[in-house]
Amino acid sequence: MHSMIYITTKNVKEARKISNMLLRKKLVACANIIPRVESGFWWNGKIERCSESAIICKTKGRHVKNVIDVVKKEHGYDVPDIVEIPIKSGNKDFLKWIDDVVK
């Protein structure tokens, strides 16, 4: 099974730091950084709005827990947004590439 992991960060600098760490550890085969997303969310009983960066990682399902552990350790938020999106199907060559990169 393959997965995408969606992570939001406080800024591009933090997104680069986290994605580079995940890539170096070979926990993910690819990490796309979206430099600016506008976020709205409930926090401490009220609606907050802020600008964040997002990372979309591609990996094997068995590495998701390790990715979450690394991100939580390195992340600046008290409750970081880290969610797994299972990949049901896709380009078989791309999925094989993920298998080859992430052992």
Residue 86: predicted pLDDT:
97
Task: Summarize the confidence of residues 36-63 as an average pLDDT.
Answer: 96
Please state the φ and ψ torsions of residue 90, each to the nearest 5 degrees. Answer: 175, -170
Question: What domains, with CATH codes, occur in the chain?
Answer: 2-101 (3.30.70.120)
Residue 10: predicted pLDDT:
97
Residue 103: predicted pLDDT:
80
Whole-number average pLDDT of the chain: 97
- Does pTM top 0.85 for this prediction? yes
Task: Summarize the confidence of residues 67-94 as an average pLDDT.
Answer: 96
**30-69 per-residue burial string, b: 16 or more CB within 10 A, e: under 16:** bbeeeeeeeeeeeeeeeeeeeebbbbbbbbbeebbeebbe
